[in-house]
Each structure stands twice: as structure tokens, then as C-alpha cells.
Structure 1
Amino acid sequence: MELSATEAASVIRDGDVVAITGNGGGMLEADAIFAAIEKRFIATGTPRDLVLVHALGVGDGKERGVNRFAHPGLVRRVIGGHWSWSPRMQALARDNRIEAFTLPSGVISLLLRETGAKRPGLITHVGLNTFYDPRSGGGAANEAARNAEPINEIVTLGGEDYIRYLPIRPDVAIVRGTYCDEQGNISCAEESGDLDCHAVALSARNSGGRVLAQVRQRRESKDCLARLVQVPGVMVDHVVVAKDQPQTHVGGYEGSLAGLPHSSEVLPGQFDGLSMPAGARSVIARRAAQEIHAGQSVNFGYGIPGGIAAVLTEQARLKDIWLTVEQGIHNGQLIDGALFGAAAFPGAIMRSTDQFDFYSGGGVDVAFLGAGEVDADGNVNVSRLGQDVVGPGGFVDISQGAKSVVFCGTFETGGLAVGIDAGKLTIKRSGQIPKFVEQVREITFCGPAARLRMKPITYVTERAVFSLADEGVTLTEVAPGIDLQRDVLDRMAFRPEISPNLTLMNPDCFVSDAVGTSSRSIKAGALNV
């Protein structure tokens, strides 16, 4: 049944559990429906006290996406994988106006799938020994959540501990596609990803809830190819046609992001492409790239690791690896920044649930992930920075499953300025916020657990490189031009072990910003990947 966005918003009742799909940059974001829900609440005070569930970060950091729900009274609980795209929701969590839970993105998506299949929740190793372990916080990210009913528990099978994440049964699912046919079959054929739209819809449909789907247009069945349907019509209750629906927040439709180099119905559009990193980020990306070997399956996380793809492109090495990101993309030219998770001319676009299965089972040889804080045990925090709830995104799913991990981040933050010249690094201004701390605020990655599994772990910064050894975090390399005591050891809250084979970082990592670091964008047809 076709509804307007306003009519669709009226389907939602006070207290409903609402599961949504989407990703930062507007990927698969049903914002016409979100906006109608927000407008209805502001005008009438209803719906209220919703439970909002989203696996990935959804929004633009200002008004769209999850920001539409960030009004006192509209939601009472949020279970989110990544929160940075909604500073308004972060503020509600900080002020304990809502119950704020964070869980790994893959856990949320797969839990919705398991709920839809009437299985007893998601039983997995993902999250053990981290903040998501019920013995260490269970994902309760503020005081209001800590006083609420827990959302997971420990179970023991075959003598091994696992986390059982309890079923989430949505009353309403909100998904998005490009078009649908007269039977309600939803296709994401011209979208930049499929994400978890099937799992979100399944969880509501088989829990007795309703599924709202936003699309750009209706088509006849003959023009809605069966192979390109992501959500079958039997799972869809209502369709909202938003004729001006953009592919992403950039606007228009770019065929290459959907793996469609030629399409007569793709609207003209542009997007910001890959840019070479500069400054400290350039050093980190170039040094991290040295950890990659031909033939490896590689994952890049959001933030500083996203710049590694640009370095590999410059070095003509991207074709030598198999690249994946958590949104379901395989190969192609990764897009950095706000559209991280999309790629120009991808080799494959899978459901994010399938991608997380691949990660959980150990399909990645080496993962490159960010690092907000690191402590002496090698623990890493990316999920709580400053006073804000951030959430892990796919970090936990990926870091626990990958065969090896390279954490990438500046040595400190808050005003850091560096100079790069003639293969050397100088510190022009130190950062005000240390990142190598006595104890991380939340354990998003557990160093001792990685040591027990003898997993290779490396920490790359612009001035030093560390590894995780039996003795703990060990300094292995320092940058040319850096004073070891003044610039490294004196600025750490703990003293690392120092390798007897301490060496200088490769001078090739220190390329002046004036050489080889100009921004450039990838336009449709400009790549031949």
C-alpha cells in the first residue's frame, strides 16, 4: 500500500521499537520518512518514548538521519552502532535524557537477522573482553542505560564463554531502496550499498511489526529485475515514493557508486572522490601501507585508515589486494570522508550482514583501524571520546576476527601540528590531549586477549611505531628528526618496552605536503579498476 511520508509517520505509535537502516553520507537513508516523524512529533508530541535501533552511523552531523529523532521525549532508548553523525543524540545521551546503548555494528545487524528467524538472539564471540561484554558494561553507555534492563548475557557452550545478545523485536522497520514494483518488491539497484535492509525488514515482519519502505520510484515488474530485489514484497507493508530522493547527501545519482557505469535512468550527480592525505595523516597512511602484502584480504576502517587507499592508488598497489569495508563493498575505489563505505566501480556489493559474517569468521588477513586511546596493556578505545558516546561501528567485529590488526592514529591530538621535509618529521606544536594513556576509558579492543591468541598487533603514529609483545606495548620505530625522550617517552602516560632492534621509520613515509599530496577527485568514468 502506497502512503505519503506523513501517512507513514502516523503508523508509528508511542513506545514502538523502530529499527532503521542507513549509513553516514546518506547511503540508504530513508530521510523523507524520518523528517515526517520529526515533524509530527514537533507538532503533536507523538510518537514518543520510542526505542531506536541502528547498526551504522546515520545522518549528516546536523539535521538528517538519526538527528531527526533527537528530541527530548521522542525516544527513550537508543541502541546504536555509531553515534558521531548525530551530535544532537549524543547530547541527549550525555545528559541522561535517554538510555544510551552502543553495540558493535555487525552484532546489531546480525541480531536483527537472528530475531527475524526466531532464533534465541545472537550468540557470538564478538564483544568478549570488551566494553560490550556484560561483565564489563554490556554496552550501557550512560547512567540511564546502566540502570535499565541489560541487553545481553554470558552463556557457556562446550566449555567456552560467548555473549548472547537478546532478541530485538521491532514494531516498525524503516528501510530504503531505489524503486519497487506493484507487488512491493524493493530493489537497491542504484544505491551505493544494500547494508542490512533485509535483516531490518525481516526482524519487524516476523515479529508482528510493520515495514515501511522509501523508494525513488515505482516500476512495472518487468523493469524490476528479480535478481536485483533486496526486500521481497511479502515483507513490505507500506511504500513511500520520494521522487527527489538522492542517492547520498551529495545529491543526484552516480552510477559508478552502484557498480553501474552505464544507466540511462541514472540522474547526473557528483561526489567527492579520493584525496591524498596530508601532514601527520600522510605519514601514518604511508607507514601503514608498508604492512600490506600482495594477495592479502584487507579491511580499512573509518578515519585515518581511510587515507591508506589513496596511498595504495598512488603506488599502483590497490589492484594487488582484496579490499573490503563493513558496508558490504568489495574492491573498487574506496571513497573517503563523509561517503566512507561507498566505492566507485566496486567489484561486488554484498549485504553488510554477509560482510560481518566474513569478518567474524576470520576472512580478513589484516585490518587497519583507528585508535582514540591506547594503554600499556595494548587496549584500544574508539567508542568514547571526550564526553561523547561514539560507539564502535564495525571496529569490534573486524578487530576480533582479523588475523592481524594495524591501529592507525596520531600520537596525540588537540592542536597537533607537524612539519615534514627531506624525509624527516618535526613537531611544530604538540597536541593537548594524550592518546597513550594509563588506562583507556572503554575497552573497544582487548590487548591481553589478542596476546593470548598470538595475534600480530601494530600501532602506527606519525612519530613512532609500536607492537604488542608478551611484555606489553613495545616501541619498535621512531621517526627521523624526532627526539625519543622528549617527543615520545616523556609524552606517554606509561613507559613502553623498547625493542633492542629499535629502528628509524622509513624516510619514504615523510613526503612533503608540497609533493604528491594534492587533492584530486574521482569522477564517473575516470577509473578503470
Structure 2
Amino acid sequence: MDTVFEDAKTAIAQVRDGDTVMVGGFGPAGLPVRLIDALLDSGRRDLTIVSNNLGQPGLGLGALLRAGQVRRVIGSFFSGNPEVAAAQRDGHLEVTLLPQGTLAEAIRAGGAGIPAFYTPTGAGTVLAKGKETRVFEDGRAYLLERALHADVALIHAHQADRLGNLTYRGAGHNFNTAMATAARLVLAEVDEVVEVGELPPAEITTPHLYVDAVVVP
């Protein structure tokens, strides 16, 4: 068995200062809370966080921001945490804003080995600044967006078997499934561990070959 079962503190010790860290979740759905708390306690700094949002003031990923551990954030929805705008204004945080669909596709592309892709989303807006724009046969303008990769992905799944195969529940799929393919090191927080053979094969979304460590309840 290649997958290691361990607690959040032990798993997160593999994260290094300066790493790019993808963090799954959409609001509270599919958020790897124990791994985020362990990352906060680790004191790791100079992190680039790739996530839909940066938590709330002092909560979740927002606690990492308040502790000064985040250097850059790449995501879509930061209005839920006004400290993001304040940190950017004060020069403490670099913010890269991507439309939500573009963020999801950039992560998926990273996992699929696609270096870049064109999308009409954001063309003709301030988000197009500094990006290549191309007009195709349909006459529409498209932006070239680069794929996203990470050193580490912190994800949440519903169940894991003892090989590390993962299943998800409902909205918990969100960014977690794509992030599991786009990082060098994948740490999966789960609700429940079952024996090999107990997970219906058709429900396994993330095969164990992507998963390096499972954080048990």
C-alpha cells in the first residue's frame, strides 16, 4: 500500500515555506478544515494559495492571511473576506483574480497536462490586461489562460478505502477532484475510512494513485 494514513499535523509537515498550495472547498462544502488548521499551526510562510476564496476574517484560510503566512492568492471570490482587499492595498498580498469557470478549467488543465487554453470569459475587461487575446473564426475574442499546478493540494473527500481511493458527497466534489490531479503532493482529509472493496468502483472519483496521504478522522 502506497498511501500513508496519518494525522493532519504529520501530513502537513510535508509542506514547505514558499510552496504553492491548492485548497479545495466551496464555502464550507468540501473544505479540508483539519488540514487548514494544521497548516496554520505549522507556521509555514510565503505561501501561494490557489482556492475559490480566502475564507472569512480570521477563519479558515482567512486565519492564514491574518497570521501573515500567505504571500499570493489565486482565486475567484474574495468579497467574503475584506481583509484580502486590505492586505493587497497595503502591499502585503498579491491577488490574482480569475473567473470561477476559468479557475476550475485552469486547475483541470494542469492535471491533464494542457499548458494553456483559450476562453471568451474576461475578454474585453480589465481581466484581459497583459494576456494574449485572439479572435477565432466565430468572430469572438478569446483570452489565453495558463494552466495551474501546485506543490501541494489539500482536499476533502467523503470516504477513502485503505488504498487511498476517494469518493465525494454532493457539492463536496467542487474543486477537490480537479486539484487532486494538479499537484505534486496530495493530502486528503476524509470523513470515513473503509476496507478495500467496500467502495463501489463507479463511485471512486479520485483513484489512489493520485493520493499521497489520507488524514483520518
Change (3 A) 1:232 1:132: same
1:13 maps to 2:10: no
SS at match of 1:230: coil
Alignment map for 1:404-483 (pairs within 5 Å): none
Shift of the alpha carbon at 1:3?
A: 1.9
Alignment map for 1:150-161 (pairs within 5 Å): 152-158=131-137, 161=141
Measure the CA separation in 2 of the matches of 1:223 and 1:129: 50
Verify the 8 A CA contact 2:72 2:94 in the aligned structure 1. yes
Verify the 8 A CA contact 1:23 1:58 in the aligned structure 2. no
Partner of 2:42: 40
Measure the CA separation in 2 of the matches of 1:80 and 1:102: 5
Post-superposition Cα deviations, 1:288-346, rounded to whole Å, max 9, x if no partner, equal: xxxxxxxxxxxxxxxxxxxxxxxxxxxxxxxxxxxxxxxxxxxxxxxxxxxxxxxxxxx
Structure with max Cα Rg: 1
1:163 maps to 2:138: no
Give the counterpart letter for 1:29 in structure 2. L
Post-superposition Cα deviations, 1:389-439, rounded to whole Å, max 9, x if no partner, equal: xxxxxxxxxxxxxxxxxxxxxxxxxxxxxxxxxxxxxxxxxxxxxxxxxxx
Verify the 8 A CA contact 2:58 2:66 in the aligned structure 1. no
Measure the CA separation in 1 of the matches of 2:107 and 2:179: 6
Pick from 100, 106, 116 the counterpart of residue 121 of structure 1.
116
Shift of the alpha carbon at 1:72?
A: 5.5
Change (3 A) 1:58 1:49: closer
Alignment map for 1:95-244 (pairs within 5 Å): 95-134=90-129, 152-158=131-137, 161-189=141-169, 191-204=170-183, 209-242=184-217
Gaps of 5+ in 1: 42-46, 136-151, 243-529
Change (3 A) 1:120 1:156: farther
Shift of the alpha carbon at 1:71?
A: 3.5
Shift of the alpha carbon at 1:73?
A: 4.0
Post-superposition Cα deviations, 1:99-118, rounded to whole Å, max 9, x if no partner, equal: 11111011011111111111
TM-score (structure 2 length as normaliser): 0.89
Alignment map for 1:263-412 (pairs within 5 Å): none
Post-superposition Cα deviations, 1:32-90, rounded to whole Å, max 9, x if no partner, equal: 0001111111xxxxx21111111x3363x344332132135412111111013333333
SS at match of 2:37: helix
Partner of 2:30: 28
Post-superposition Cα deviations, 1:121-146, rounded to whole Å, max 9, x if no partner, equal: 231111111221126xxxxxxxxxxx
Measure the CA separation in 2 of the matches of 1:192 and 1:199: 13
Change (3 A) 1:214 1:69: same
Shift of the alpha carbon at 1:156?
A: 4.5
TM-score (structure 1 length as normaliser): 0.38
Measure the CA separation in 2 of the matches of 1:3 and 1:123: 40
Measure the CA separation in 1 of the matches of 2:12 and 2:125: 37
SS at match of 1:12: coil
Verify the 8 A CA contact 1:20 1:53 in the aligned structure 2. yes
Verify the 8 A CA contact 1:134 1:154 in the aligned structure 2. no
Gaps of 5+ in 2: none
- Highest relative contact order (Cα 8 Å, sep 6+), 1 or 2? 2
Change (3 A) 1:67 1:118: same
Verify the 8 A CA contact 2:159 2:166 in the aligned structure 1. yes
Post-superposition Cα deviations, 1:449-489, rounded to whole Å, max 9, x if no partner, equal: xxxxxxxxxxxxxxxxxxxxxxxxxxxxxxxxxxxxxxxxx
Partner of 1:94: 89
Verify the 8 A CA contact 1:18 1:174 in the aligned structure 2. yes
Shift of the alpha carbon at 1:94?
A: 2.9
Q: CA RMSD in A?
A: 1.9
Change (3 A) 1:63 1:223: farther
Measure the CA separation in 2 of the matches of 1:4 and 1:85: 30
Partner of 1:57: 53
Verify the 8 A CA contact 1:197 1:230 in the aligned structure 2. no
SS at match of 2:118: strand
